[in-house]
């Protein structure tokens, strides 16, 4: 830990340039989220202290309560921030082209890019998916269910899944979602470009295996 500095340094209460009231509040809220996400790279939410977060964000412990009632509440907000902006992206990738191989490549690239851009968010996600804080667990489950649902309806529109039952489609969508989360975790664990490429390689092959399986699903089931 090089610096436990005040992340707000030059923006707190100084009557600087920008800052309507609520804009400033949002900025501190964001500072809390950012600071906690940084702290969460080395520990899990259930051991994260309220004071610890406030300190890292540069506000007093009591100030925390102006934004969140709890550490769990902050966790739920983090879930929102991590996954909220990703809805609709999957459908776009699937709709892009019909070529299966290219679709797989695009999907893996998409995950790799997002993970590389905001690793801490996905680390948090993987860590808390089955973590010790119930509200956060539920929030993540709800978001992932939404993803599975979106993926399911995107798959239903595809010609490759004609004749599939809704139940089977849901299962397939769920598997894709789980595969994505697992792939994201492996990208996170991968250190160095070689390991990263390897992770992408096996991720593609896993998706391909699923694709092959679903292509023959109706004939053998």
Partner DNA sequence: TGAGTCAGTGAACAATCGTACGCTGAAATT
Partner DNA sequence: AATTTCAGCGTACGATTGTTCACTGACTCA
Q: Which of 7, 28, 114, 200 binds DNA (CB under 7 A)?
A: 28
Find all residues with CB under 8 Å of 120, minimum gap 6, and list them: 37, 38, 40, 41
Number of residues that bind its own copies (CB under 8 A): 36
Q: Which of 18/194 has CB closer to DNA? A: 18
Q: Which of 49/213 has CB closer to DNA? A: 49
Q: Which of residues 145-204 bind its own copies (CB under 8 A)?
A: 168, 171-172, 174-175, 178, 182, 185, 202
Centre a 10 Å sphere on the Cβ of residue 91 and count the other Cβ atoms it contains: 15
Residue 46 to residue 215: CA distance in whole angstroms: 43
The site map against DNA for 75-94 (x = CB under 7 A) is --------------------
Q: Which two tokens stand for residue 10?
A: 């030059």
Q: Which of 4, 5, 49, 135 binds DNA (CB under 7 A)?
A: 49
Find all residues with CB under 8 Å of 38, minimum gap 6, and list them: 56, 120
> What are the C-alpha distances in Å from 50 to residues 59, 82, 135, 170?
11, 20, 17, 39
Name which of its own copies, DNA, none residue 162 binds, using a CB cut-off of 5 to 8 Å depending on partner kind: none
Q: Which of 17/194 has CB closer to DNA? A: 17
């Amino acid at each position: 830990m090089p610096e436990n500095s005040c992340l707000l340094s030059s923006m707190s209460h100084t009557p600087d340039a920008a800052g309507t009231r609520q804009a400033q509040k949002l900025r501190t809220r964001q500072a809390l989220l950012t600071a906690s996400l940084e702290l969460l790279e080395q520990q899990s939410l259930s051991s994260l202290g309220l004071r610890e977060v406030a300190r890292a964000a540069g506000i007093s412990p009591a100030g925390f309560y102006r934004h969140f009632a709890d550490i769990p509440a902050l966790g739920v907000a983090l879930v929102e921030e991590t996954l909220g902006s990703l809805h609709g992206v999957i459908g776009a990738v699937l709709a892009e082209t019909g070529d299966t191989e290219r679709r797989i490549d695009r999907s893996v690239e998409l995950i790799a890019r997002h993970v590389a851009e905001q690793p801490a968010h996905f680390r948090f996600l993987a860590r808390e998916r089955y973590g010790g804080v119930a509200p956060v667990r539920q929030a993540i489950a709800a978001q992932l269910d939404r993803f599975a649902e979106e993926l399911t309806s995107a798959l239903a529109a595809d010609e490759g899944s004609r004749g599939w039952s809704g139940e089977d489609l849901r299962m397939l969508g769920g598997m894709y979602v789980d595969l994505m989360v697992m792939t994201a975790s492996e990208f996170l664990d991968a250190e160095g470009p070689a390991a990263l490429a390897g992770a992408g390689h096996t991720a593609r092959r896993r998706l391909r295996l699923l694709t092959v399986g679903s292509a023959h699903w109706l004939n053998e089931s």
